[in-house]
Amino acid sequence: MGYERLGDDMKAAIASACGGRTAVAEEVRRQHGRGESYHADMPPDLVAFPRTTAEVSAIVRLCHGAGVPIIAFGAGTSLEGNVLALHGGVCIDLSEMNAVLRISAEDLDCTVEAGVTRLQLNRDLRDTGLFFPIDPGADATIGGMAATRASGTNAVRYGTMRDAVLSLTVVLADGAIVTTGGRARKSSAGYDMTRLFVGSEGTLGIITEVTLRLHGIPESTQVGRCTFTSLDDAVATVSQIVQMGIPIARVELADAAQMRAINLYSKTDYPEHDTLFFECHGAASAVPDQMALVQALALDNGGSDWATAQTAEDRNRLWQARHDALYATTAQRPGSKGFITDVCVPVSQLAQCVALARSLVDATSVPATIVGHVGDGNFHVICPIDPASATERGEMHELTGALSRLAISLGGTCTGEHGIGSGKLDYMALEHGDSGVAAMRLVKRALDPRGILNPGKVLPPLAQG
């Protein structure tokens, strides 16, 4: 599909639609044409900074009429080329739409604008006794997290953005504004439009407001850490914890290579072996017993060096080190970019998938690491590559392909939380089948007939014939 480029008249009209808050400077455009991974910068032609849903609607209406591509942008933390301007066009940066509109402590919910970040939201919630648990590591925007169906370290207990979002305000491709639901905890009224837009990566509409489920801050939190001589033993421990129904909040894996990278980057002194991190939440009377069960299972599976984080400061330091895994790995090769892939499988199949990942990592020519949210079967391989090296890029694409194909064959998915973007298009038909992809195309065509919303993402291009 061909797209129109921006002329001066169109740039002026878009600027008028959002109070003159636009930018065409090269550095600003480049900043909005990149994520956190190895993908080459692909900048838009113009960046707009709306402050209201009405301004977003006006910009989208102009682009729809002119056939100009639109890419929504949050914090730029995506990992699969989700925000690349593959065909130029207009980037709508939602960061100035950053108001917490409503908090209802009684109903355990809130409504925020799309540009609110998760850390900002939790600061605003602190005095209410509530918190927002979805924690992908990066201080991503809530709109971006909804658009990519993000999850993170707490997903094993609190679920993902699919579970956290109650309703959305969305601007459609022609500028129409829709609200997808209410605040009720359940509804059987019509199609579930909220779930349609959650995870659509800005290809079906632009999310401007999000109503979220909240949770009470736990009375007690305990964190444990244990090392293992093999990944198999670590994975066996995770499987048993899940099967026994222990209400674990987080179970995180970092292999020995990742622990070495973390120590160098974060100036820590953790044992440099395959390691599991655990966190339990709940009543003060229950959490010690839960953690004791976790410890017993870990030690029964050959774990050692069991340690606990005694203070909130220690807990925060440990989880920050885990969140810095990508940066710790890329720091091993100055100038490198992170090639990070994620797959997710049923927990019963996790050992087989991690074993393949280890064999692939051992064969790579770069210092790759394995890390993940293994409590729900999701893990990552991180490779610091030279983005200019065709050999290294090819090697990593082969690794991604092998892992994705195995995960899908085991009843899993090629991406548990990063999304498809432009980086994992090759696996959509394998995972969903040709008929499944065709059905998605029908939805896309119905909601975005001109194909202007984040083109080239999620759905693979049609074969030319």
Q: What is the mean pLDDT of residues 227-235?
A: 92
User: Using one digit for the tens of pLDDT, what is the confidence trace for 91-136?
Assistant: 999 999 999 999 999 999 999 999 999 999 999 999 999 999 999 9
Instruction: Please compute Rg for the chain using Cα positions.
Output: 22
User: Using one digit for the tens of pLDDT, what is the confidence trace for 251-309?
Assistant: 999 999 999 999 999 999 999 999 999 999 999 999 999 999 999 999 999 999 999 98
Q: Which among 358, 52, 318 has a CA at the least distance from the CA of 209? A: 52
Predicted confidence at residue 464, as pLDDT, reads 52
For the chain, which domains are there?
A: 8-93 (3.30.43.10), 100-216 (3.30.465.10), 218-323 (3.30.70.2190), 324-423 (3.30.70.2740)
User: Using one digit for the tens of pLDDT, what is the confidence trace for 52-82?
Assistant: 999 999 999 999 999 999 999 999 999 999 9
Residue 465 has pLDDT above 50, yes or no: no
Provide DSSP, 250-284.
EEEEE-HHHHHHHHHHHT----SSEEEEEEEEE-T
User: Using one digit for the tens of pLDDT, what is the confidence trace for 327-356?
Assistant: 999 999 999 999 999 999 999 999 999 999
Q: Which two tokens stand for residue 427?
A: 């696996």
Kindly report the pTM of this predicted structure.
0.94
